[in-house]
């Protein structure tokens, strides 16, 4: 087995006395598409926040390319992009200003061309100089896709990315994710949408309040079994 | 070099957003002017009386910094609201930059907003309160404003980052902020007093300026150590 690109090593997260994640362990190889299923409130977003170095675990480590992420989080963050249900965009700035701002933080070279390229990808070139506060939720999410891809991340986290998307925005997201999959980008998606999640997954994890109840390669297990385990985890 | 470009990007973003929304600057300027108007009427009899020069100078310094402190709270209260409400703080936490730079950039933005408000309102203050001519020792006023604003912005930015996560954030910041800047005001008002006295000498103000400088340094260093913990959870 190849060296894991990302390894969750005994990750535990507590908020006060409440244990949100308890000894979570798994590995992801380069180019994998891991889908994390689980009901609301089970800790999917917390897990994504910990894996993407936004938040520190109470116990355990995130290991990226054999090195603890906490040792050099800035290096890890350069490789990471996140598409969340929250677009991380400033309502008073235009689409271009938002993307240029994040581009500067990530030190993206030839930033204007990269912005044009991404706005074309998300089909919002004509709204480049419009203030983001005037955009619909779907349009904001499309700009958010562009924001996440600005620095050409090799690892992309998607946290409930289809939440609140109109069909057009969802189609753009799905096409982008498929293309990234072809480009060997490692994808980690948290969702409770079984159909969307299973379309792309090469590995599936089901998270329940008790912890991980299933961790399998998607081709080793059929969709009906995954559905069954998922539904059982909701009932228990 | 990399750090300076990232700080520049963060400050530029704050300034563009503020110039477009004007929600911080408008509120601060209007508040300061209203305070000056109310105090000029309320204290008119006292100001017309033949007070001792020293006493009048303290009164003027108190009026000036009373208005500036409350205006600063108005602005500071809003400083992390966009990051919190629009979820942009997560975007910043994901960026490959030292998190203390987020504090430092926000501190610079708050300092710029505070200085802008003071630049506008100081003329209004002169119209309402100064009898003859302008300030006697203008350089002392400039030093007081710079040293005071550094401390107010540093403490205020740090506390604003803490308060923004609270449910009653609008109430929490003043409760935390005013006790923390009492030491600044204990030096700042006597220092500003000398700006209105023609007899002021460097020896009168050097101790006060040194105290403010030390306070500023402490509250610029502490956030660099603790800011990561404040914003993470």
pLDDT reported for residue A224:
83
The overall average pLDDT reported for chain A is 90
The residue in chain B having the minimum alpha-carbon distance to the alpha carbon of residue A15 is B233
Q: What would the mean pLDDT of B75-86 be, rounded to a whole number?
A: 87
- Contact criterion met (CB < 8 Å) for B8 and A101: no
* SS3 label, residue A67: strand
Residue numbers of the domain that contains B48: 2-231
User: Which residues are paired to A24 by β-bridges?
Assistant: A11
Predicted model pTM? 0.91
- The span from the CA of B32 to the CA of B27, in Å, is 9
- What's the gap in Å between the CA of A228 and the closest CA on chain B? 34
> What was the pLDDT predicted at B137?
80
Distance CA B60, CA B91 (A): 44
Contact B79, B27 (CB under 8 A): no
Q: Per-residue pLDDT for B143 more than 60? A: yes
pLDDT value for A226: 81
Q: In terms of pLDDT, which residue wins out, A104 or A193?
A: A104
According to the model, what pLDDT value does residue B212 have? 96
Instruction: Please tell me which residue of chain A has the smallest CA distance to B12.
Output: A101
Question: How near does any CA of chain A get to the CA of B9, in Å?
Answer: 6
Q: Which of A54, A101, A104 lies nearest to residue B93, judging by beta carbons? A: A54
Q: What is the pLDDT of residue A236?
A: 64
Residues A121/A176, Cβ–Cβ less than 8 Å: yes
Q: Is the pLDDT of residue A155 over 90?
A: yes
Residue B199's pLDDT band, with cuts at 50, 70 and 90, is confident
Q: For residue A131, what pLDDT is reported? A: 96
* Distance of alpha carbon B55 from the chain centroid: 24
The answer to whether A64 and A27 are in contact (CB under 8 A) is no
Count A/B contacts: CB-CB distance under 8 Å.
Answer: 79
Number of domains in chain B: 1
Those residues of chain A whose CB sits closer than 8 Å to some CB in chain B are 15, 49, 52-56, 74-75, 77-78, 80, 82, 84, 86-93, 97, 101-102, 104-107, 131, 147
Contact B106, B79 (CB under 8 A): yes
Nearest Cβ partner for A90 among B9, B88, B90 = B88
Q: Which of A88-102, A174-188, B105-119 has the lowest mean pLDDT?
A: A174-188
Q: In chain A, which residue's Cα lies nearest the Cα of B2? A: A107
Taking a C-beta distance cutoff of 8 angstroms, is the pair B232, B93 a contact?
yes
Nearest chain A CA: its distance from B104 CA (Å): 14
Report the mean per-residue pLDDT for chain B. Answer: 90
CA distance B218 to B215: 5
Which of B16, B90, B97 has its CB closest to that of A93? Answer: B16
Q: Is B26 on the interface with A (CB under 8 A)?
A: no
B94/A77 touch (CB, cutoff 8 Å), yes or no: yes
pLDDT band at B3 (very low <50, low <70, confident <90, very high): confident
pLDDT digits 0-9 by tens, B173-194: 999 999 999 999 999 999 999 9
* pLDDT band per the 50, 70, 90 thresholds, residue A1: low
Residue A74: its chain B contacts at CB < 8 A?
A: 96-98
Chain A residue with the nearest C-alpha to that of B102: A105
Beta carbons within 8 Å of A175's beta carbon, 6+ residues apart? none
Q: Per-residue pLDDT tens for A182-206?
A: 999 999 999 888 888 888 889 999 9
Is the CB of B233 less than 8 angstroms away from the CB of A91? no
pLDDT for A229 beyond 60: yes
- Distance (Å) of CA A54 to CA A29, A46, A161, B70, B96: 21, 9, 17, 34, 11
Across the interface, whether the CB atoms of B95 and A77 are under 8 A apart is answered: yes
pLDDT digits (tens, 9 = 90+) for A27-40: 999 999 999 998 88
What pLDDT is recorded for position B1?
64
Looking at this predicted complex, what is its ipTM?
0.91
| Cβ pair A88:B95 closer than 8 A | no
Least Cα separation, residue A159 to chain B (angstroms): 13
* Residue B82 pLDDT: 81
Cα distance between residue B144 and residue B195, in whole Å: 9
Percent share of chain A, pLDDT over 70: 99
The number of residues making up chain A comes to: 236
CA distances to A10, A25, A63, A65 from A3, in Å: 18, 15, 11, 7
Q: Do A54 and B90 touch (CB under 8 A)?
A: yes
């Amino acid at each position: 087995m190849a060296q894991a690109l990302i390894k969750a090593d005994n990750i535990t997260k507590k908020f006060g006395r409440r244990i949100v994640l308890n000894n979570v362990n798994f590995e992801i190889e380069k180019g994998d598409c891991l889908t994390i299923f689980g009901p609301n409130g089970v800790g999917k977003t917390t897990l994504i926040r910990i894996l993407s170095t936004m938040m520190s675990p109470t116990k355990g480590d995130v290991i990226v390319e054999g090195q603890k992420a906490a040792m050099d989080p800035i290096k890890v963050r350069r490789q990471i992009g996140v598409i969340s249900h929250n677009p991380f965009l400033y309502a008073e700035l235009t689409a271009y200003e938002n993307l240029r701002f994040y581009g500067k933080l990530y030190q993206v070279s030839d930033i204007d061309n990269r912005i044009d390229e991404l706005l074309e990808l998300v089909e919002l070139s004509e709204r480049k100089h419009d203030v983001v506060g005037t955009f619909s939720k779907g349009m904001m999410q499309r700009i958010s896709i562009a924001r996440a891809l600005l620095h050409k991340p090799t690892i992309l986290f998607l946290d409930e990315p289809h939440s609140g998307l109109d069909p057009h925005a969802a189609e753009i997201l799905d096409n982008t994710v498929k293309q990234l999959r072809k480009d060997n980008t490692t994808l980690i998606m948290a969702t409770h949408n079984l159909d969307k999640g299973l379309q792309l997954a090469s590995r599936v994890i089901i998270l329940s309040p008790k912890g991980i109840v299933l961790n399998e390669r998607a081709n080793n297990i059929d969709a009906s079994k995954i559905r069954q385990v998922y539904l059982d985890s909701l009932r228990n | 070099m990399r750090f300076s470009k990232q700080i520049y990007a963060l400050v530029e973003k704050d300034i563009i957003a503020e110039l477009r929304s004007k929600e911080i600057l408008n509120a601060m300027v209007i508040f300061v002017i209203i305070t000056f108007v109310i105090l000029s009427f309320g204290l008119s009899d006292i100001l017309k009386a033949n007070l001792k020069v020293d006493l009048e100078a303290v009164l003027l310094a108190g009026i000036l910094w009373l208005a500036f402190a409350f205006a600063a709270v108005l602005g500071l209260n809003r400083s992390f609201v966009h990051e919190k409400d629009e979820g942009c703080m997560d975007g910043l936490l994901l960026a490959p930059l030292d998190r203390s730079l987020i504090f430092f950039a926000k501190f610079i933005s708050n300092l710029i907003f505070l200085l802008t408000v003071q630049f506008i309102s100081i003329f209004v203050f002169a119209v309402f309160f100064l009898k003859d001519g302008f300030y006697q020792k203008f350089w002392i006023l400039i030093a007081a404003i710079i040293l005071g604003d550094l401390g107010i912005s540093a403490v205020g930015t740090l506390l604003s980052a803490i308060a923004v996560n609270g449910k009653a954030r609008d109430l929490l910041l003043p409760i935390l902020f005013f006790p923390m800047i009492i030491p600044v005001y204990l030096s700042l008002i006597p220092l500003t007093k000398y700006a209105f006295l023609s007899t002021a000498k460097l020896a009168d103000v050097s101790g006060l300026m040194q105290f403010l400088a030390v306070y500023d340094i402490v509250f610029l260093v502490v956030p660099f150590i603790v800011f990561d913990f404040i914003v993470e959870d």
